[in-house]
């Protein structure tokens, strides 16, 4: 079955960096676009970034553009999110999610999430 397992969350000071990983199994990773979506404590869902199946296209929300970078290693079935210049408002659970198809901007399966806390 489809599995997505995020890791790399933790506590970081404002201005710091963190790299999240998402290891996937149960589907052909290089056939699908992938997304990151976050959820601040007690709040709703906010889409963060997406990368096409082959890494040729990446998109970001305005709130993270220029600070976060999405990437993938298709040989290792792993998605990444490099987060720099972190702010307290980036505190959230970060979910990786599988796109419906290789170019899709919609998602079907989600991981369990990893918590990022930005605080001094």
Candidates 99, 95, 92; CA nearest to 112 is 95
Dist. CA 115–CA 75, nearest whole Å: 26
The answer to the question of residue 23 lying near other proteins (CB under 8 A) is no
Candidates 7, 5, 2, 51; CA nearest to 25 is 2
Binding other proteins (rule: CB under 8 A), the pick from 21, 52, 61, 84 is: 61
CB nearer to other proteins: give 14 or 100.
100
- The tokens 């959820």 sit on which residue? 39
CB nearer to other proteins: give 17 or 43.
43
Residue span 66-95 as binding mask against other proteins, x where in contact by CB under 8 A, dash where not: -----------------------------x
The answer to the question of residue 100 lying near other proteins (CB under 8 A) is yes
- Within 3-22, the residues that bind other proteins by CB under 8 A are none
Write out the two tokens for 82: 């490099």
Dist. CA 59–CA 48, nearest whole Å: 8
CB nearer to other proteins: give 47 or 82.
47
Q: How far is the CB of 80 from other proteins (least distance, A)?
A: 19
Query: What does the angle CA 74 – CA 70 – CA 110 come to, to the nearest 5 degrees?
Result: 75
The answer to the question of residue 59 lying near other proteins (CB under 8 A) is yes
């Amino acid at each position: 079955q489809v599995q997505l397992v995020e890791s790399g969350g933790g506590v970081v000071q404002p201005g710091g960096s963190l790299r999240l990983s998402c290891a996937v199994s149960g589907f052909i990773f290089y056939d699908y676009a992938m997304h990151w979506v976050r959820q601040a404590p007690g709040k709703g869902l906010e889409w963060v970034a997406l990368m096409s199946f082959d890494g040729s296209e990446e998109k970001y929300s305005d709130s993270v553009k220029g600070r976060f970078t999405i990437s993938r290693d298709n040989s290792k079935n792993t998605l990444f999110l490099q987060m720099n210049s972190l702010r307290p408002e980036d505190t959230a659970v970060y979910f990786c999610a599988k796109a419906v198809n290789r170019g899709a901007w919609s998602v079907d399966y989600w991981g369990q999430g990893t918590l990022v806390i930005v605080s001094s």
